[in-house]
Chains A and B, each alone.
Chain A
Amino acid sequence: GEDVEQSLFLSVREGDSSVINCTYTDSSSTYLYWYKQEPGAGLQLLTYIFSNMDMKQDQRLTVLLNKKDKHLSLRIADTQTVDSAIYFCAESRNSGYALNFGKGTSLLVTP
C-alpha cells in the first residue's frame, strides 16, 4: 500500500515526554513533516526534517528520522495539556507538490 502509518491514540501524563511514531512509504521523499490539528481548526506546521538529516530539535520538539527503516518520530518533552491534539505525519510527494498524510495520532494529556 501507499499509506503513511501512525498509531491512532496516545495518552500521557502532564510533564511526561510523548513520542509519536510514523512509518512512511516513499524512500524518495525529500521532506517529512509534523502537523498539529486542534478541534475545529486547520493544520499547524510544527516542524519538518530534510531527508538527509537524522535529527532536528526545536525547543520541546525533537524529530528523529531513520531513513533505512522509513521511520519518523516526534518527541514532545514536558508535555502539557495544551498539547492535546491530533498529530499528523506527512511525506512530500511528486517533487514536493503534494503531501501524503498519515491518519493522525490523537494525543491526550491528562493532569
Chain B
Amino acid sequence: KAGVTQTPRYLIKTRGQQVTLSCSPISGHRSVSWYQQTPGQGLQFLFEYFSETQRNKGNFPGRFSGRQFSNSRSEMNVSTLELGDSALYLCASSKGQNMNTEAFFGQGTRLTVV
C-alpha cells in the first residue's frame, strides 16, 4: 500500500509569489490534514479536509488556503509569500470517519522563501 505522497519535495520561491503544494493520501483515506513545521513554532495545524469540505482550520492568515478533490487528493496554496513562510509543510491522511485514530504523514515539502 503506497504511503502519503507529497510533491514537490523542495521548493524555492521569492517573496510575494504564490505556491501550491500537493498531497495524495493513502488509498481509501478520505481525511487530509496539513501542518507547518518550523524550528521556532514547531508543528502547527493548518487545516483539515474530508470529502472535499474543510472541517477544521487552524490559526493561520487567509493567505493560506486549501482544497480537496473528489479523489481525496489535496492541495494547499500560499499567496503573497513572506520570508516567515519558509517551513516544512507536512500532510497527513487518515480514514477520517470519526476520530483520527491513526494519521499517517508524508515526507513533507520543504519551502524556502528568499
A-to-B contact residues, CB < 8 Å: 30-31, 33, 35, 41-45, 48, 88, 90, 92-104
Contacts and interface: CB of A to CB of B under 8 A. Distances in A.
Interface of B: 4, 6, 31, 33, 35, 42-45, 48, 50, 55-56, 58, 90, 92, 96, 98-108
Q: Could you tell me the dominant secondary structure of chain A's interface residues?
A: strand
Q: Could you tell me the dominant secondary structure of chain B's interface residues?
A: strand
B8 to A, nearest CB: 14
Contact of A104 (B35, B42, B50, B103): B42
Contacts of B45: 93, 98-100
A97 B55 contact: yes
A94 B56 CA distance: 8
30 contacts: A31-B100, A35-B105, A42-B90, A42-B106, A43-B90, A43-B105, A44-B105, A45-B102, A45-B103, A45-B105, A90-B43, A92-B99, A92-B100, A93-B45, A94-B56, A95-B98, A95-B99, A96-B98, A97-B48, A97-B55, A97-B56, A97-B96, A98-B33, A98-B45, A98-B56, A99-B33, A99-B100, A99-B103, A101-B44, A103-B42
